Amino acid sequence: MDLETRLSLLNRLKQSPAEADWRQFYDKYHGAIRSFARKQGADDHAADDVLQETMMVVMRKLNGFDYDARQGRFRNWLLTIVSFKVREARRRAHVDRLLSMDAPAAEGGESWHERFASEESQADGNLEATWRQSLLEAALKVVLTDPRTRPETVAVFRACALEGRPVAEVAAQFELKENAVYQIKNRMMARVTELITSMEEGQPDLPAPAES
């Protein structure tokens, strides 16, 4: 079976909208979960594994849970699952290395398997901060690629917030008043903060799980 045939097999299995609750979850969190795994030392492939396995847990949990909106509960549940899946991926990387199933290390250097497997002690220490940074990056991606936002606005925000350039310098470059730059920055920051808060709290239409 060639790749095209395999892909058409996937497409044939489209499900009804009612069964696609997991997709909301995927759309909202895939960026943060991938980013978190990457920050824990996973390469793109292992980060995809972490996302895939987290999504499988979510699919199984979608039925039979009552939503609990207590702040932090959903966030802690998700962080617990993702952290566990990263640890599993790390253990599997170790096995893969033993089996020599993947490409050998680059000449003169250790493979990502070795780096990933050896990063456990330092990575686990700061999960909260890493997760927060992952949510921030996911929120920034949404804001920076929002088609409703003018490219000039994105450029101004990128310059003053992400590149840390002085407001006066950014204002001069874009021929704006400094106050206008502050307004853009504050408006975009409010949107980023709102998105992060939304991701930390879950959402009312998701059946947030009681226990992992």
Which residues of this chain interact with other proteins, rule CB under 8 A? 1, 3, 5-7, 9-15, 19-20, 22-23, 26, 30-31, 34-35, 38-39, 44-45, 48-49, 51-53, 55-57, 59-60, 71-73, 75-76, 79-80, 91-92, 95-96, 98-99, 101, 127-128, 132-133, 136-137, 140-141, 158, 161-164, 189-190, 192-194, 196-197, 200
Identify the residue whose tokens are 């490219």: 151
User: d(Cα 73, Cα 136) in Å, to the nearest integer?
Assistant: 19
Check residue 148 and report its DSSP letter: T
DSSP 3-state assignment of 99? helix
Sign of CA dihedral 75, 210, 69, 143: positive
Report the residue number, 4 or 175, with the smaller CB distance to other proteins.
4
Instruction: Yes or no: say if 34 and 26 are a contact pair by the CB < 8 Å rule.
Output: no
Q: Least distance from C-beta 112 to other proteins, angstroms?
A: 14
Report the residue number, 164 or 175, with the smaller CB distance to other proteins.
164
Identify the residue whose tokens are 């097999």: 9
Report the residue number, 23 or 150, with the smaller CB distance to other proteins.
23
